[in-house]
Structure 1
Amino acid sequence: MQYASEVEAADALYASFSKVRAEIGKIIIGQDEVVKAVLIAIFSNGHCLLVGVPGLAKTLLVQTVAQVLDLSFNRIQFTPDLMPSDIIGSEILGEDRNFKFIKGPVFSNIILADEINRTPPKTQAALLEAMQEKAVTAAGVTHQLDKPFFVLATQNPIEQEGTYPLPEAQLDRFMFNIALGYPSFQEELNIVKNTTGNTVNKINKLLNAEQIRYFQQLVRNIPITDHVLEYAVKLTAKTRPNTALATPKVNQLLSWGAGPRASQFLVLGAKCHAVISGKYSPDIEDVQAVAKAILRHRIVRNYRAEAEGLSADQIIEQLY
């Protein structure tokens, strides 16, 4: 897959994004910002954590994205008795008396890790290691995962009894934390209308794995000016209480801030957001467009912020 110039390639990504978004819109009604964030994460080679109540079409969204992008898809339902081998696979003794590795469901392009906070830390760690290394190790042998490799994990914010919340260090592996809200009345009306009849919308495959890998590399090659790069790094640094760039408000409201991975994701996310918006280089608005989803799970509010009812998003807005 070759283009005459990176400008032409950026135009192709912009056009592809618009088509993919419209195709997904045949099945997923509303949730435009969620779809946009998921696609930005895929083209930026990142992972997503989706937080929302049950019944908001999280599984359908991921299945639809996989279909449109012509990628393999697996859903893993996380439960308290799930073992690491249930995810990555295990070795079995074959008929020839030799051990052979049977691949687990993680060997797919897109993984839906449903209710990741319902499984013990050991099993969570197996998936998170695969996310970071893009490979799994079994019996001392390393097996590379399919590329592109993208994990969308879901958490139910309501039922917390019998769950194992992801620690901050593991949350940091996710590029985006996407908050999923209820649809509007009109959107819900359209959802019910479209899903309670006999109408079946046909989904077209618009991209493939090779094209997505190309666009992921293209996003990294997008130029960024020094002042936008500095803005992204400063925005992350401002979240760290009792440091040089921290504001008095941050010192009052946060007990912990975001690490360098947040700065990296801010830059990559801004680059991708710029291209899908028809620009060839990101500006400060592109950084701000992805900042909440990148920072909200990387800052830890203290008792004062919680007592004042301030959300992570409200604190991040004060840093712009």
Structure 2
Amino acid sequence: MEFRDAARAVCANIETVLGGKPQAAETAVVVLLAEGHLLIEDVPGVGKTVLAKALARSVSCSVRRIQFTSDLMPSDVTGVSAFNPATTEFEFKPGPVFANIVVGDEINRASPKTQSALLEAMEERQVTVDGTTYRLASPFTVVATQNPHEMEGTYALPEAQRDRFMARIEIGYPDAAAEVDMLADRDEENPFDRLRPVVSVEDVQRMIAQARGVHVSGAVQRYVVDLVQSTRRDHRIRLGASPRASLQLVRAAKVRAAVAGRSFVLPDDVDTLAVPVLAHRLLAVRGAPSADDLVREVVASVAVPAGDLRPT
């Protein structure tokens, strides 16, 4: 199956259970194929967990789910060394983070100490327990959901953790027609019951390698840097986007170009992904517009590269 066909098949599979949200489905697929992590943030009941589970079920790979609660411990995420009386030795019992796709439900209901258990895994794709380092599966993607941090019983994610998520998206309420369809579809059966994988883990690995080869011209690279540096110069933003944001914006743009059937990145790929990739990393000063609006203003203010951006 060609890259574009496989990616669109996953998107279509997700949309069978999350109707009316094609942009959310596409961003989730882009993050998976860019080897990133996805944060889905919105009010309860709009389909955050549905999207995470649908993405996981669309790929024939290992999937584990972590239900984050206030009493969850770091070892419940990473694993623990347990004493085996038969061998008189300690043996490592892997935690749920050892999977291709890890669904972290309501991640901000766990304490910051437990949230930080994912930092090494998300950045270095490894876990260190009792001085021993264990490599994680490839591909490895965390798809986490969270409610807005102002809601009762939640902890704000630390900046270091938010920066490790390649993209943050919101689901939003469905329109009236989509909500009516949902009521009709789920009156007799759960659409998850008929959801089946449409790509294998080998397909995903091949697509990841193919996306890495997408061409990014020097002009587009400079455009990405100009966007990111503009967030650091804006007086309304007290914490701008990091160099990690530049890297991840380029990686995501490569995948979006491949999904569109192109072998090179256009500024439009960067513009489309700028808000989900950059906004959650920013800290605005009090009284400033929302981070999403600030990123949109930055995109509108930076000159778009012209000329032929295809590989020579």
What is the TM-score with the length of structure 2 in the denominator? Answer: 0.90
Partner in structure 1 of residue 52 of structure 2? 62
Question: In the alignment, which residue of structure 1 is the partner of 2:140?
Answer: 149
- Could you tell me which runs of 5 or more consecutive residues in structure 1 were left unpaired when the two chains were aligned: 1-10, 242-249
Match of 2:262 among 279, 283, 302: 279
Tell me, what secondary structure is at the counterpart of 1:304? coil
Aligned counterpart for 2:229 among listed residues 233, 237, 250: 237
2:243 aligned with 1:260, yes or no? yes
Q: Which residue matches 2:304?
A: none
Report the count of equivalent residues: 297
> Which residue in 2 is equivalent to 1:213?
205
CA separation in 2, counterparts of 1:162 and 1:23? Answer: 33
Residue 37 in 1 paired to residue 31 in 2?
no
State the alpha-carbon separation in 2 of the partners of residues 34 and 73 from structure 1: 20
Match of 2:274 in 1: 291
How far is the alpha carbon of 1:158 from its aligned partner?
Answer: 6.3
Q: CA deviation at 1:159?
A: 4.8
Check conservation: 1:53, 1:158, Cα contact below 8 A. no
1:78-107 superposed Cα distances (whole Å, 9 cap, x missing partner):
111111111111111223122111111111
1:63 and 1:161, CA in 2 relative to 1: closer, same or farther beyond 3 A? closer
Larger CA deviation: 33-42 vs 22-31: 22-31
* CA distance, structure 2, for counterparts of residue 19 and residue 202 of structure 1: 15
Any stretches of 5+ residues in structure 2 without a counterpart? 300-312
- Distance, in Å, in 2 between the alignment partners of 1:132 and 1:167 is 15
1:112-146 deviations in Å (ceiling 9; x for gaps): 11121111121111112211121111122211111
Supply the distance in 1 between the matched residues of 2:84 and 2:105 (Cα, whole angstroms).
32
Contact kept in structure 1, 2:224 and 2:249, CA below 8 Å:
yes
1:190 paired with 2:181, answer yes
Aligned to 1:100: 91
Q: Distance in 1 between matches of 2:190 and 2:89?
A: 51
Rounded to whole Å, the distance in 2 between the matches of 1:214 and 1:70 is 14
SS at match of 2:142: strand
State the alpha-carbon separation in 2 of the partners of residues 158 and 289 from structure 1.
Answer: 26
Give me the whole-angstrom Cα distance separating, in 1, the residues matched to 2:176 and 2:138. Answer: 39
Aligned counterpart in structure 2 of residue 314 of structure 1, from 276, 284, 293 = 293
> Which residue pairs with 1:28 in the alignment?
18
Q: Give the distance between the partners of 1:199 and 1:206, measured in 2 at CA.
A: 19
Q: Residue 144 of structure 1 aligns to which amino acid in structure 2?
A: R
Residue of 154, 164, 185 corresponding to 1:163: 154
* 8 Å CA contact 1:135, 1:144 repeated in 2: yes
Detail structure 1 runs of 4+ shifted over 6 Å in the superposition: none
Question: Structure 2: how far apart are the matches of 1:198 and 1:269?
Answer: 35
Q: 1:63 is paired with a residue of what secondary structure?
A: helix
Aligned to 2:216: 224
CA RMSD between the two structures: 1.6
CA distance in structure 2 between the aligned counterparts of 1:46 and 1:272, rounded to whole angstroms? 11
1:77-96, aligned counterparts within 5 Å?
77-96=67-86
| Residue-by-residue CA offset, 1:165-205 (whole Å, 9 max, x unaligned) | 11222211000011220111111111111111147563332
From 61, 66, 70, give the equivalent of 1:76.
66
Question: Within 2, Cα distance between the matches of 1:158 and 1:167?
Answer: 11
- Identify if the C-alpha distance between structure 1 residues 163 and 25 changes in structure 2 by more than 3 Å, giving closer, same or farther: closer
- Following TM superposition, by how much is the alpha carbon of 1:43 offset from its aligned partner in structure 2, in angstroms? 0.3
Matched-pair contact (CA < 8 Å) for 1:176–1:293: yes
Cα offset, 1:52, TM superposition:
0.8
- After TM superposition, give the deviation of residue 317 of structure 1 in Å: 1.4
User: TM-score normalised to the size of structure 1?
Assistant: 0.88
Which runs of structure 2 are paired with 1:172-187 in the superposition (5 Å)?
Answer: 172-187=163-178
Distance (whole Å) between structure 2 residues aligned to residue 317 and residue 183 of structure 1: 23
State percent identity of aligned pairs.
Answer: 38
Paired with 2:23 and 2:31, the residues of 1 have a C-alpha distance of: 12
- Contact 1:34/1:178, CA 8 A, preserved across alignment: yes
CA distance in structure 2 between the aligned counterparts of 1:258 and 1:214, rounded to whole angstroms: 30
> C-alpha distance in 2, partners of 1:83/1:64?
27
- Verify: 1:12 aligned to 2:2, yes or no: yes
- AA matched with 2:254: K
